[in-house]
Structure 1
Amino acid sequence: MTKKVPTILLRVGMYVTQLDRPWIETPFLFRRFEIKTQQQIAQIQEYCHHVFIDTERGIDIDIADVPASDGGSLPENIPPNSPSQTSATGQSTVSFEDEIQQALEVRSKTKQVVEHMMEDARIGNSIDSAEAREAVEGIMDSITRNREALICLTQLKNRDEYTSIHSMNVSILCIAFARHLGLKEEQIRAIGVGALLHDLGKMRVPMEILNKPGRLTPEEFEIMKGHVTLGADFLKNTPGISPRSFRVLLEHHERYKGGGYPKGLHEDQISLVGQLAAIVDVYDAITSDRVYHNHLHPHDAIKRMYEWSEKDFNRALLEKFIRCVGIYPMGSLVEINGTDIGFILSSNATSALKPDVLLVMDTQKNRHAKPSKISLTETDGSRKKDKWTITKVLDAMEEGIQIDSFL
């Protein structure tokens, strides 16, 4: 089978059958050849943007690196109805209540790892990639046991710790999303590491630009955009970071119809992992308070991103993300029946508008003696009408209500 492959994805062992330019204009001795060395790959990349490979005569391209298809459709290797997996059966192995304390510990340890790596990057010390991999293993284990617990905790925000919390949240959400898409464990692991490191280059940006409260000047924005390549350059000699992890770092600011940075890639030039990371990065960024803008409610952020998807995101992939986190994203605050307030715990596979909710207080903000979990799929006895209904979407930060105080 013949496949078109961007040269950045070439691997030793692939068999090239055609170049994207006349063979006579290149230094290669043969029209068709097997790639045997990294030096060959570097030479091909110097002359070509993409090539065609024969997967029967050489190795195939890896699923997670397959570029998204034209027109905003999913790569053919991604199952169209991939379940949101937390175990081999697609079900949580423990309850939310049993996992939440462990998830809080994972979050705390991961945040410490990110802060340590960022401090090393700021002062110019090399980082220990083993720390990042260990943190990612903790996230993956928690999501395997119960994905809702750790995803809910991504709604715990702090403006003063934005960069470290954002990196941690992007890793958590990327791992959950990649698992939702049905990717392999080794692919999910690499995506998680790349997401944890994706903004490390910001530590090489002057603090007066990074923390500027107002709009950046065009010159300052160009410096800020440099954090992508600064991060890649800083990490390029760090052992233990896979090419896939680098794709997350290098492509999380690229946009589907072009206009992103650092390379202005578009559509099939952007890998699946790059497009996945771009969606997650924007979602967490716009639901967080920043020095230059206030957050959006997760529900509003989802709607806004869907509007932007015409040019910024692969819409088919964004729709997968919405199914992953829910139309009412996990961890967001809602009013139920006009009488109670609760947090969204999980999305419902059969009805996106009827998630599970943790009721924590009444609308007068009197705390319940004990939080109680309800399902909006419940009906009210013989009348067969909904027992519970979301009557209002609330802003947890504006209301001063954080989920961790009820756990």
Structure 2
Amino acid sequence: MKSVGIIGGGVSGLFSAYYLAKENVEVTILEEGNFEDGCSFGNAGMIVPSHIIPLAQPGMIAKGLRWMLRSDSPFYVKPRLSGSLVKWGYLFWKHSTEQHVRYSIPVLRDISLLSKRLFQELAMEHEVAFGWKEKGLLMLFKDAHALPEMKEEAHLAQQAGLEAQLLSGNEVQALEPNVRVDVAGGLYYPGDAHIYPNQLVRNLLAVLKAKGVRILENVAVQDFDIQNKKVQAVDTSNGRYCFDEVVVAAGAWSADLTQKLGISLPLQGGKGYSFMAKPESQSIQIPSILLEARATATPMGGGLRFAGTLEIAGTDTSVNMNRVRGIHSSIQNYYPELSIPFPEKESVWRGLRPCSPDGLPYIGRVKHLSNLTLATGHGMMGVSLGPATGKLVSEIVSGKKRSMDIAPFNPDRF
């Protein structure tokens, strides 16, 4: 029986283990921390085939430079002396073009639709409970000046075969009868969905254990033994492990690990924050993105999860409450009657999204190591793309026909 070691216990690693276990493969997951610390656990929980425009796009750098002047802004690059940050920034700038957006749209659409289809299959099988709901997604905008941008986004989505409806403020309100919404309008994507990530992670772990997957927490990978263009062994804080195949799915820490393998992987951690709240009476029915604030609101677990910000800060996991304040202060701008107390610092979750400079994930083998597969770089869509990533990893490792063309995700593309 083939043995596979998966480094990283986020959604990409867990789904890789899930689909590999179905192929009768012996799977071990090595997780440096515990599973409730990972980026997947406190995610906004949105499953978003609508997200077909990559982070690297025209105008994003100019917006980012303006936002950097505000301590509560939704996007921030922490200044620091770092060659890897300079390289990442150059590649981001190089890919912030209309041509790259046009190239990325069908690629992101296809992997997102594959992932949604797999989520639907999982929901029907009832093997893993994760609060699957197909209620769509609302992109809400306060300022009527955003209308041309929203029209263009709707047009791009429709061209790509996705349903997108541009709504007036009154039409948005009709979709949310239980809470007042104060917006100029919204873009509604009925094909999107949402889940409860905490439930997904916990229940997926239970299913994996039942399938015989070995799950090791608090095990840090320290080095690799490489011989004959293969990873022969993984040296950890818990001893040495030998596998036939190795999968690196370590999120924002993947770049540090791949460096030990002789791979220079352009990747930066994009820190985001979230917190839960239980409104006393009114509540939101449909997940929303608050456009100007770049924050999100998702109904889950009997309450609401608010999330946001993208802070390019390497692997710094400290909590900046000014960023949290920016998320919190935006809520009543869009939902004026929703009374949400400011969260205590201890209740704020933070996680690092692994951001590639072109907005496309890294999924595939690398040239110089025949038994290594990467599964990282999903940015803010790690949970949304989790099942598709896991399925593709299992196909790569088992040598089966791919569910889609993975060439755009080539880890060696830079």
Query: Does the alignment reach a TM-score above 0.5?
Result: no
Larger Rg: 1
Taking structure 1 as the reference length, the TM-score comes to 0.23
Is the strand fraction higher in 1 or 2? 2
Which structure has the higher relative contact order (CA within 8 Å, separation 6+)? 2
